[in-house]
Chains A and B, each alone.
Chain A
């Protein structure tokens, strides 16, 4: 298992290099560093001198991928791509181009707000979806099941934007229960968190509950379930003990990958509810064309995704002892 993990981590390196190449290529395909400097300095009265200075301060005064003026290894190492990427692998993200703040610090301080929403949504959501799916599986081929599936299909056909807009309108504006958006400090935070969390869970109910129901129904026709029933176990026990346990692998496949990515928060939810998390940080960076921040978030996202993939494999061994990682 240790060998397997080491191999997976090593395999991640070329992927992360590839991710960096793609981000760089996308950004510099049309934008030259000069354009970037002008954009960040403001359009008006930008002198050659100030552009040069801006580039020098931030290390953009080198060629992009290949430096022909150098000898040997320097051809590759003395470039924007290399100098910026190497630091990235040490998780040193540098400073944002717009306001010069330290990106690493920013990520560390904003991460908790994202997590405060994403983690409850994930945990409570999983519990809700699995419970609903088990209920539908329990009442399979009856009107309860049918109504459940119909509701799920309708729920998954509604755009997530409408859940947010509708929820904000009903709960905050009409009934005045919780603030419409914002984020507080200390104990008051929960007031701001309730609505986004509840909406986050509801928005996912249709697709997830239906998907888990399909997984459970696939298991329910297996021989071991028949054996369990033949032994005289109650249907509830069959479902919760046998079916749920055996359905863990497909459930884990979809769920575990998402866990590390919870740190990044949700772009849409955070911007609608004005939550100072990483999602809104990313949206702002996209709108400001702040290359440093976008690059850092892409890199972080990829790292977390790869961690998620490795965790998924590890979780298989826990859920199913037959799985061995080699």
Chain B
């Protein structure tokens, strides 16, 4: 399947994305707005930190008891009248869902927003089997019309401006051009309403699965998940095995933090609880409910004591919005269903291949760890993955031999050592600094050093330096010394 993991080099893709100033403007705009909302909502909810700690504790416990909880969840779901299928990998999950559609003669499939179905590349598989698959989340609908993949976990069309979308609707839906979000949304509502009323099968993900009652919880704003799980006769939910939590009483802690971090809302518009098919006399709800429990690399993550923590992820998408890398390159550069900091952890485990390089696409600044609603130590896991990737013996049991450094890394290490020796002596630092400045000075053009001959070109290729300014430094030093003297006196 070409969609499963696009073998692309992050660093090449990132370079192209950085050059796209339009994309950068859109990303800065959207992610910035998100962060403002999040900060405002949190500020007026004093219990946020307490709820965050509670969520973290429940996830720790849930993952530690994953075996027991999954057994209980499966029992309860089946007792409620659901069919449960356990899929070891993406291929098994696809095969089950495609087989189901074929067996029941479902030709029209509606999809609520779901990362898990993106992960298993369900759409092309259903299309191949002759089904018409329509994404019904507005953002997903837009990227589907463009023949693209979502570039953000919760805002799939974050890389597009309203003008882009206006042109797209004009082209694909044959409506007069408008870039007004309200008008565009109204058009999508009308088109998708027909699709919902006609579809035989609905597919969504699940945000939480409650073991105690056998209940799936779906969190959303538009109503597409609710439509997909209410109107069609057959409903399929694809859930990663890490979504299970013990009891109904645990749920409110997550709901109190999830929307606040994901979108800056207190609660999303719809929180849907689905425990089974409709009962006698009921008009709504599917005749059949199928729950696909998806492993697809998750149990291998569980086996690694450091990586395990990544299974706490709620898929809120906040770490993408704070990430200085994501904000520059956007989601598509990652070449994976899951972009951004958490994606750089999940992708190598779930997809392998070229995504193994993603843990290196981080500055380790820690902003992701700060915003994470369940406090996942993302930088630590990224370092762990880098270490695993560079180690010669890829055991994966957490007890790896010391990695054999590649030559570039060795040189970098030596460089840092030399620098630290030098930096310990102020006089030497000053002299060497002055020498470097003299060396750079002839290459300065309009305030910047953008090019130097080899071997320094390695450096100037990726960075522009401010031109050395001798006089001001002396003045600045004089100022500091004066301040120091004043402090002493």
Q: Do A and B bind each other?
A: no
Binding site for B on A (CB under 8 A): none
